[in-house]
Structure 1
Amino acid sequence: MVSESPVPLPEQPSLEQLRNQAKDLRRTSGIPLWEAQLGVARRYGFTSWARLKQHVELLTRYSRFPERVATDSDAGTFLRLACLSYYDDEPGEWEQARRILERAPGLAEGNVYVGAATADADALRRVLAADPAAASREGGPFQWEPLCYLAYARHDPAISLAATLETARLLLDAEADPNAGYLWHGLPTPFTTLTGVFGEGEAGPVRAPRHPHSLALARLLLEAGADPNDGQALYNRMFEPGNDHLELLFEFGLGTGDGGPWRRRLGDALDTPAEMVRGQLAWAVTHGMTERVRLLVEHGVDVTAPLDGVTAASMAATTGHADLVDYLVAHGAPPLDLPPADAFVAAALAADRPR
């Protein structure tokens, strides 16, 4: 996609509307249809009509809007309340979901999505025996694959590790996709199974907690082929201290590879693996997360190139984290060489009165 100042696509772009725009342009300008289509594509920042069409089809296929979900059954209402949707999530909703289960304890019977969310391996086994393809069929209120309902369910932290892993294995053995996910409001960073397992985000760990068995479930998904370069999971977990998610993802190749199936679908709309981990480094430096900085550097994240246009050491100094400057320089970052104004800021933040 290239354009000096492209117009953003609507939240839910329509190919029919785009075709009509091209037809209108052809009528008003007298140019051939193919040229009008190219003009429309370039207006939205795409190099060809084919690429624009492919992108819109992708958005149509994967975009989800959780606030628009309507349910008319106990099963649908349970799933809507039980799972993180990253729209108005609250612990009170999980309590409501538990009450629905108490009122209708057989809800998982015959329903692959409820079976996944409740980690009811026995009920799930019966569903898959009759219909193995159900393991990868989208459905339920959010139009997710069953594995996503398992990953995003938060209604019952007492569900055992054994039940959780058995449920995941049943789905994966029936060819569920460990990289299953969706585009929240059509935004280009996918919310995957790993995203759901790791949880958190801007809502914080109370309203969007990680899965009770996050590390074990994430490991199983990664072993099954989930790509560790999960930009949304990294974003959601960068706000709070704690690096267990990064340690696990690095074990499976975070920062390397081609970005997996989602980057193959979305192309340059997604960061490369290297860009993802450098973004994590920039955040950790500016927020003084010393342990995270050390972990990222120890795993080979590049400190020699600029971060957001400045050197890593300068970023540390001008955000009040002088203790990181020597460490970053010792590990390859360019030495600190601040212009006078930035040097003053760094000295003030460090409470260095003489300097």
Structure 2
Amino acid sequence: MPALPAHPSLEHLRKQAKDLRRREGIPLSSAQHELARSHGFASWPRLVHHVQALGLHGIERALVLADPEGLARILAADPGAATAELDGHPPLLVLLRRSNGAPADVRRCADLLLAAGADPGAHTVEYGGEWRRSALFDAVERRDLAFVRLLLDAGAEPDEDAFYHACEQGDTAFLDVLYRPGFERLVIHKLDFEDAGGIAWFLEHGADANAGALHWAIGRGRGTRILRMLLDAGADVNLPDPRTGHRPLAVAARCGHLAAYDLLHASGARADLDSVDTAVLALARGGPAVLPAAPRPMPGLPGEGHGWLLGQFALLGRTDVVRVLLDDGWGTDTRGWSRFTPLDQAAMHGRTDTVRLLVERGADLADCAFDDEGPTPLDCAIWGVVNNRAPDGDYPGTVALLLAAGAPTRHEPPTGDEQIDALLTSPRPS
């Protein structure tokens, strides 16, 4: 396709993407991705941001484009512009949330704003007051540790929501700089990820292994290495969950986590299994997909019934069980934890064989887990390389398979892994 015109129309680009979708018979997000790449952009959001920025003026344009020189001229003429809100947001948050510029340029712009009086503790209140999205939170979102330190040096106070978000990063340096006493209780969120180094950090900082950590780790499908870490830290293998009353062994059975069940049983765990526990355990051992109706075993699972188990077995790499469930008519894209599909969960844990099966069965390659801007399955695989790396995961194999299948991604090199970067920069098959 030709280069973008001097004044591109976002409406026209969207129409082109829809035309490409119909012509090629591919998902809209895949068509958007290919259209963006044809114009020299790594992803559709980057193309959209570029076009939107072309229609902006003044400080808003300087912030979105991360133009330090232009911003410096504006602030020299009007220092008050550093604190004057734009559509209800202070300029610092506009910069953090909307800029698609190079990280160094974004930080230079932040320096200029802070020097002119911008508040490093700027924040918005989200979801009716449930949490605060601070500048620190947004710096973590950008995975920019230097920006986090810049804000802290300018006087920003670490907040629990920013620390909670830092739990989603594989780099414990984010935890180091944002930690305050009491934040160690957020080990539960870190257990949402296969991050032994992160769990070790929390245990070293006094996290209580008997505050539901073992139950949660089992339910989230954590590997035996992390489970052993919790046991070594004093987790009681027979402690009932304070919310459900289930003992760890029953949780392992109900969640189909056979490796956890065997480890706990060998460690002296005991529990009375009900009919559902017994049926799911039998399924994990190769039995039929006949499961009695029952409440979900843990808070946080979406939907009704047992559909979430498909994603559970996918993240555990149990391709044999996933095949049984698919053959039994279970929905390929049934959502589980955090609204991830089975393909998302398998990809995030590097389960290449399971990913192959799900792709062959028609799993949605372009599904976005949370909303229109959520991660695709390939995004999940690439993110997992750095932040959720299962020790037995085959991430190069998973990424190569998804790329070959035409899966879209918003990620671009460098990702932190040379093999993944090489795959992302190789020409895609036509």
TM-score by length of 1: 0.51
Tell me which amino acid in the other structure corresponds to 1:95. Answer: L
Q: Is residue 92 of structure 2 the alignment partner of residue 147 of structure 1?
A: yes
Alignment partner, residue 83 of structure 2: 136
The answer on whether the counterparts of 1:179 and 1:225 sit within 8 Å (CA) in structure 2 is: yes
Return the alpha-carbon distance in structure 2 between the equivalents of residues 225 and 135 of structure 1: 17
**1:278 paired residue among 185, 198, 206:** 185
The answer on whether the counterparts of 1:313 and 1:328 sit within 8 Å (CA) in structure 2 is: yes
Q: Is residue 55 of structure 2 the alignment partner of residue 99 of structure 1?
A: no
Residue 145 of structure 1 and its aligned partner are, at CA, apart by 0.7
Residue 319 of structure 1 and its aligned partner are, at CA, apart by 5.5
Match runs of 1:1-355 below 5 Å: 92-102=44-54, 107-108=56-57, 111-139=58-86, 141=87, 143-156=88-101, 159=102, 161=104, 163-199=105-141, 210=142, 214-231=144-161, 233-236=162-165, 238=167, 242-244=169-171, 246-251=172-177, 253-256=178-181, 274=182, 276-279=183-186, 281-285=187-191, 287-298=193-204, 300-303=205-208, 306-307=210-211, 310=212, 312-316=213-217, 321=222, 322-331=224-233, 333-338=234-239, 342-346=248-252, 349-350=258-259, 352=262
Return the alpha-carbon distance in structure 1 between the equivalents of residues 247 and 70 of structure 2: 66
Which structure has more relative contact order (CA 8 Å, sep 6+)? It is 1
- List per-residue Cα deviations over 1:68-115 (Å, max 9, x = no partner): xxxxxx9xx9xxxxxxxxxxxx9535413313445x6xx55xx23332
Alignment partner, residue 6 of structure 1: none
- CA pair 121-191 structure 1, distance change in 2 beyond 3 A: same
- List per-residue Cα deviations over 1:274-301 (Å, max 9, x = no partner): 2x4412x113335443222112223x14
DSSP-derived class of the 2:249 partner: helix
Return the alpha-carbon distance in structure 1 between the equivalents of residues 221 and 49 of structure 2: 45
Return the alpha-carbon distance in structure 2 between the equivalents of residues 318 and 129 of structure 1: 55
- List per-residue Cα deviations over 1:209-236 (Å, max 9, x = no partner): x36xx222222112212222240x4444
- CA pair 116-328 structure 1, distance change in 2 beyond 3 A: same
The answer on whether the counterparts of 1:228 and 1:249 sit within 8 Å (CA) in structure 2 is: no
Return the alpha-carbon distance in structure 2 between the equivalents of residues 95 and 286 of structure 1: 32
DSSP-derived class of the 1:190 partner: strand
- CA pair 325-98 structure 1, distance change in 2 beyond 3 A: closer
Return the alpha-carbon distance in structure 2 between the equivalents of residues 222 and 130 of structure 1: 28
The answer on whether the counterparts of 1:314 and 1:336 sit within 8 Å (CA) in structure 2 is: no
The answer on whether the counterparts of 1:314 and 1:338 sit within 8 Å (CA) in structure 2 is: no
Return the alpha-carbon distance in structure 2 between the equivalents of residues 287 and 249 of structure 1: 15
Tell me which amino acid in the other structure corresponds to 1:148. Answer: L
Identity of aligned residues (%): 26
CA RMSD of aligned residues (A): 3.5
Structure 1: give runs of 5+ residues left out of the alignment: 1-73, 78-89, 200-209, 257-273
Return the alpha-carbon distance in structure 2 between the equivalents of residues 119 and 335 of structure 1: 52
The answer on whether the counterparts of 2:63 and 2:99 sit within 8 Å (CA) in structure 1 is: no
- List per-residue Cα deviations over 1:241-274 (Å, max 9, x = no partner): x422x413423x5123xxxxxxxxxxxxxxxxx2
Count matched residues.
Answer: 217
The answer on whether the counterparts of 2:92 and 2:122 sit within 8 Å (CA) in structure 1 is: yes
Tell me which amino acid in the other structure corresponds to 1:349. Answer: L
Return the alpha-carbon distance in structure 2 between the equivalents of residues 185 and 338 of structure 1: 34
DSSP-derived class of the 1:352 partner: helix
Residue 148 of structure 1 and its aligned partner are, at CA, apart by 0.8
- List per-residue Cα deviations over 1:169-217 (Å, max 9, x = no partner): 1111111111111113433311111222222xxxxxxxxxx36xx2222
Residue 237 of structure 1 and its aligned partner are, at CA, apart by 5.2
Return the alpha-carbon distance in structure 1 between the equivalents of residues 134 and 49 of structure 2: 22
- List per-residue Cα deviations over 1:276-331 (Å, max 9, x = no partner): 4412x113335443222112223x14225x43xx3x34544565544334423434
Structure 2: give runs of 5+ residues left out of the alignment: 1-6, 11-32, 34-42, 241-245, 267-430
- CA pair 147-342 structure 1, distance change in 2 beyond 3 A: closer
- List per-residue Cα deviations over 1:134-164 (Å, max 9, x = no partner): 212212x3x11111111112434xx361x22
Return the alpha-carbon distance in structure 1 between the equivalents of residues 232 and 115 of structure 2: 47
